[in-house]
A and B are shown apart, each in its own frame.
Chain A
């Protein structure tokens, strides 16, 4: 039995405990659902070239507000529900380096996302005849981006479920296009199913977390001094 491996395990276990509240799962699930909502509303109101600017702006504002609300819920949940229950911890320099790597990966991912959005808008403004399947190009690129980013996050953050979530993100967009093209199903069922699984896992973990870690008694929550 190696003592070195044990220490690594202790550190990993301590770090993983910050993910056992399920809030990351719920957050990522709702973000995916938000993307599905965007696709669905866009589909109802017509293609990009038929949509008036106020309509497009209204949709974008609505979706942004939804993301802001989800983000707010995530931070409020972490601050007022998770931290008081599991306590505060500052991890060592190795974890801080990993965190910086994750921030870099996320920044690059946003850059790739903006490029893909631009590509998508180009298709919306001047749709070629093969537009429906043409969407598979940015969809595929988005998928690769999602798998790479979430896998790197999973690796750097020891958040193993993110490997699977990367594939959920990657498959939602192309599956929705293929279902619309070949089976005429415009409802973004892939988004709803994948996001639903993530939110369900998160909710179950959250309930388990609340049961496992009740709020500490008054004497415990105070300083020892």
Chain B
């Protein structure tokens, strides 16, 4: 989610390389995010071959921002 938050869009291989997750693991995560409406799939053609790019939806961005805020709150509330 964090990676997709900082870029406009990325393909599956880029996400896999950056996260270090296995194909199956990442695929499973993305399917769940897609079902929740957080990730959108963009079909395009690169050199006449179909290619899939993934990007966060507005709903996904809002959810991630909310998550960041709540995590920040958690850390701030921790005792010294």
Contacts and interface: CB of A to CB of B under 8 A. Distances in A.
B32 to A, nearest CB: 13
Interface string A206-224: 0000000100110111011
Contacts of B33: none
Most A CB within 10 A of own CB, among B13, B68, B75 = B13
Interface in B37-69: 41, 43, 46, 50-53, 68
B52 A224 contact: yes
Interface of A: 1, 3, 6-8, 10-11, 13-14, 17, 84-93, 213, 216-217, 219-221, 223-225
A20 to B, nearest CB: 10
22 contacts: A7-B2, A7-B6, A10-B6, A14-B18, A86-B14, A87-B11, A87-B12, A88-B11, A88-B13, A90-B10, A90-B53, A91-B7, A91-B8, A92-B6, A216-B13, A217-B23, A220-B16, A220-B23, A221-B13, A224-B27, A224-B30, A225-B41
A135 B71 CA distance: 61
Secondary structure of the B contact surface, majority rule: helix
Interface centre among B12, B50, B75 (most CB of A within 10 A): B12
Given A10-B2, A14-B14, A87-B10, 19 more contacts: A3-B72, A10-B3, A14-B6, A14-B7, A17-B17, A85-B13, A85-B17, A87-B13, A87-B14, A89-B10, A90-B9, A92-B6, A92-B8, A216-B13, A217-B23, A221-B13, A223-B51, A224-B12, A224-B41
Contacts of A219: 23
B52 A7 contact: no
Given A220-B23, A224-B52, A89 B9 contact: yes
A14 B17 CA distance: 10
B52 A223 contact: yes
Closest 8 CB pairs of A and B: A87-B14, A87-B13, A11-B6, A90-B8, A223-B52, A89-B10, A88-B11, A87-B11
B70 to A, nearest CB: 11
A220 B8 contact: no
B1 to A, nearest CB: 11
Query: Which bucket holds chain B's interface residue count?
Result: 20 to 34
Contact of A223 (B3, B50, B68): B50
Given A10-B6, A92-B6, A223-B50, A3 B23 contact: no
A207 B11 CA distance: 24
A14 B9 contact: no
Contacts of B27: 224
Contacts of A88: 10-11, 13-14, 46, 51, 53
Contacts of A8: 6
Nearest to A4: B68
A93 B9 CA distance: 12
